[in-house]
Amino acid sequence: MDLLLQQIAAATTYLQSFSFETPRVGVVLGTGLGELVNHIKIAHSIPYQQIPHFPESTVESHKGHLILGHINDTPVVAMQGRFHYYEGYTMQQITFPVRVMKALGIQQLLLSNAAGGMNPDFKKGDLILLDDHINMQPENPLRGLNSPAYGPRFPDMSCPYDTVLGEKLQQTATAMGHPLKKGIYVSVMGPNLETRAEYRFLRMIGADLVGMSTVPEVIVANQLQLPCAAVSVVTDECDPDNLHPVSIEEIIAVAGKADKRLSSLFATVVAAL
């Protein structure tokens, strides 16, 4: 067994030492998004630094706890903050929690993020269901993982986001009075935001949203044959012809305003799974 498999097993064994029902749904909470925790009946809140081989979140708005609990009768495991390539971690470290959550037994994965909206139809605070993505990260989380123990070496990515799970999110959001728009997300390295020319380029190649996360986790979920869906909160409008400076504090504030709607949506869908 190679080192990464040993690390996954060690983290999984540690988490299984907590008295808790096998989680069915995993959730990754992105920048400025944490309200979902208020919908969870928490059994255990475990700091990342206590979990063997887990990275530590260095982003201020990411609290860095793994939550074990229930949403209604559905057992869940939620990441209160994720990891990014720009923090200095490898792609395998970034996606390590997804492999651990799968080893714990999750059957579906929901992800959220804060993103810049390049589609002129997208406005601050909009919730966008990801329909597809473009990977512009400089590394791939599957590189070098040559053992079949990780899953297929060449996973198909023709439909990276599960259509059934996406339809449940769409139908639930419509019933709640705030239908989801759909879009294509491009993942870049960061941590700087984009120039006007870069926004034009990213829009030209087909992206509606830009961010610095999610895609590595989705690639690994697909290798693990783990159905997943992702929703972005539009935190800033990236019109290169009318571009205004934006700070991370503003991005977090906008995400926080949309967080209640997104968290209610996730909680309602998870409760029905």
Q: Which residues of 147-176 are buried (b: 16+ CB within 10 A; e: fewer)?
A: eeebbeeebeeeebbbeebbebbbebbeee
Dist. CA 74–CA 244, nearest whole Å = 43
Q: Are 234 and 209 within 8 A, CB to CB?
A: yes
Orientation of helix 163-175 relative to helix 248-272, angle to 10°: 100
pLDDT of residue 256: 84
pLDDT of residue 231: 97
In sequence order, what E strands does the chain have?
A: 25-29, 41-47, 65-71, 74-80, 108-117, 127-135, 181-187, 209-211, 228-237
State both tokens at 155.
Answer: 């996973």
Give me the architecture of the 20-272 domain, per CATH: 3-Layer(aba) Sandwich (3.40)
pLDDT of residue 60: 60
Per domain, the residue ranges of the chain are 20-272
Report DSSP state, residue 245. -
Residue with tokens 């990276």: 160
| Contact partners, residue 64, CB within 8 Å, separation at least 6 | 47, 48, 49, 56, 57, 80, 81
Cα–Cα separations (whole angstroms), residue 11 to 70, 99, 161, 166, 198: 21, 10, 26, 30, 39
Dist. CA 115–CA 126, nearest whole Å = 10
pLDDT of residue 122: 97
pLDDT of residue 59: 64
Which residue ranges in the chain fall short of pLDDT 50? none
Q: Are 160 and 220 within 8 A, CB to CB?
A: no
Residues paired with 185 in a beta bridge: 133, 209
pLDDT of residue 61: 54
Q: What number of residues does the chain have?
A: 273
